[in-house]
Every structure is written in structure tokens, then in C-alpha cells.
Structure 1
Amino acid sequence: MDVTIYHNPACGTSRNTLALIRHAGIEPTVIEYLKTPPARDVLQKMISDAGLTVRQAIREKGTPYAELGLDDPDLTDEQLLDAMLAHPILINRPFVVTPLGTRLSRPSEVALDILPDSFKGPFLKEDGEPILDAEGKRIV
């Protein structure tokens, strides 16, 4: 299965999502979006395909969100996308794209919705939280 993750290695949720994808036996295409931001049309498509608004795809914490005045409700999607492309840290992460769909995987287990059910054995997040049981089934 062709899987792409827009990844930030400094983010625990992103690391957990990448590990979960690999636990499914898939070696994804890893795009460190801070180094290689997506093109505008790719970003727009990911946001749309994930069922999000542009504003929902913006990360506020640890970014220049407030300094850039992005909390202004009158800003258009185009202006928000301009800011995200100029400052990729504003792109929330991780986005995961598979033939089964696109998700902003926050929390990381959201990626399970678009991965094949091919997990073998348990999976724990970095903090020890279980996501998959001993049979590889999702823990609710």
C-alpha cells in the first residue's frame, strides 16, 4: 500500500503515527514538511480530503500563529494557506495519505481508519498508552 506521512520528527504524535504505519508492515514515504513543504495545491487537497477547513488544519501551539494575527476571523482561506506555506510550522501534523483516504492523525490512532487491518500484535504509544491489543485489534 502506498502511504505518505507529512512528518515532524520532533512531534510525539507524528512519531507515534509513523511507528503505527510501520507496525502495519508498511514503509511509508516520509516527507519532513518543515524541510520540504507541500505545494499549495497538495496542501489544499490534503485538507479537503481530510474533511477539514483550512482553519482546522492550522497549528497554533508553538507557532507564530498569534504574532501573525491568524486568529482574525476575517482572514480568507487563501490568506491562511499563504501563511501556512510561508511558515510550514503552522501546518498541523501529521497528515497521512493512503488509497483509503487522508487524515490529520491527531491523535495518532486516527490513522487506523485509513490503514489496512494487517496489524500483528500489540502497539503502544511512546507514553505507553495501548492502541492495539495482543491480536492487533484496535483498543477503543
Structure 2
Amino acid sequence: MTTIYHNPACGTSRNTLALIRNTGEEPEIIEYLHTPPSRETLTKLIRDAGLTVREAIRQHGTPYAELGLDNPSLDDHALIDAMLAHPILINRPFVVADKGTRLCRPSELVLDILDRPQRGAFAKEDGEAIVDAQGCRIAKPAR
């Protein structure tokens, strides 16, 4: 079973959810702004995704600066406290699947942890093609 910590107002989160659904699976959807994870769950998501707590904090469009969270002396416990008090600070979307946990930014990172193949072509909301008609990931040209 795949679980997505989702914000329906976020394009990246919507694209990630659509990529999961393109496999034919309907994931468990947790709208974390309404149902925030527990401290234990949030800590596990961050750890399992291979991130630091600071890497899991969303800065833009949040009270990050107003709360002084850019202060390097703040420890992980204080940062987690802020994320739990203000769930908008939790970067999204986190996805938990059989093959692992990822912060799916960009959304196509979810393809690395899904068990089921894509069932057809997929393009992001902005039109960027991610998966071809055969369900294969489209390689991005080298920059």
C-alpha cells in the first residue's frame, strides 16, 4: 500500500498523486494540513527519506522566517516542534511505498519507489512529459 502526505493546493503534490494513480493503485491519501503526522511519524518520514530535518522544512509560503527557523542554533527537536505546530512547514509530498520513502520534489521521484509500472503516458500539469505511451519514464536531456 502506498501512502501520500498530500496537499491538494500544491501542483507537485497533485502530479505525484496522479503518477501513483497512473499505476492503477489508489493510495492512502493523508491531507497533512488537516491531519498532521505525529512526532514519531514525521521523524520516521524524514529519516526514511534520507533527509535532515532542515531539508524537510518548507520555507516559501510558510511562517519559516517569521518564526526564526533560519537560526542555525535551533536543533532538530525545535524544528520538529515548529513543523507540528505549523504543518504548512512540512515539505510535500512525502510518499511511503513498498520500495521506500521519498520527498517527491520533483514529482517524478515517486517513480523510483512504486512497485507497479505506469499504465500509459503521463504529463505534469505544466505539460512536461514524464512517462511515454508505453509507460516508460522519459529521460531528461543532459543540461
Short-chain TM bin: over 0.9
Separation in 2 of the partners of 1:25 and 1:120? 7
Taking structure 1 as the reference length, what is the TM-score of the superposition?
Answer: 0.98
Letter in 2 for 1:11: C
Within-5 A mapping of 1:1-140: 2-140=1-139
Q: Distance in 1 between matches of 2:28 and 2:116?
A: 19
Structure 1: how far apart are the matches of 2:119 and 2:81? 42
Compute the displacement of 1:95 (Å): 0.2
Identity %: 71
Q: Deviations over 1:97-133 (max 9, x none)?
A: 0111000000000000000242122100011100001
Write the letter of the residue equivalent to 2:80.
L
Which residue identity does 1:23 align to in structure 2? N
- Structure 2: how far apart are the matches of 1:137 and 1:42? 32
Structure 1 Cα separation of the partners of residues 120 and 34 of structure 2: 34
Is contact 2:122–2:131 with CA below 8 Å preserved after alignment? yes
- Output the TM-score relative to the length of structure 2: 0.96
Secondary structure, counterpart of 2:16 in structure 1: helix
Query: Residue type of the partner of 2:51?
Result: L
Distance 1:121 1:28 in 2: 18
The secondary structure found in structure 2 opposite 1:48 is: helix
Which stretches of structure 1, 4 residues or longer, exceed 4 Å deviation after superposition? none
Give the number of aligned pairs: 139
Distance 2:4 2:119 in 1: 21
RMSD: 0.6
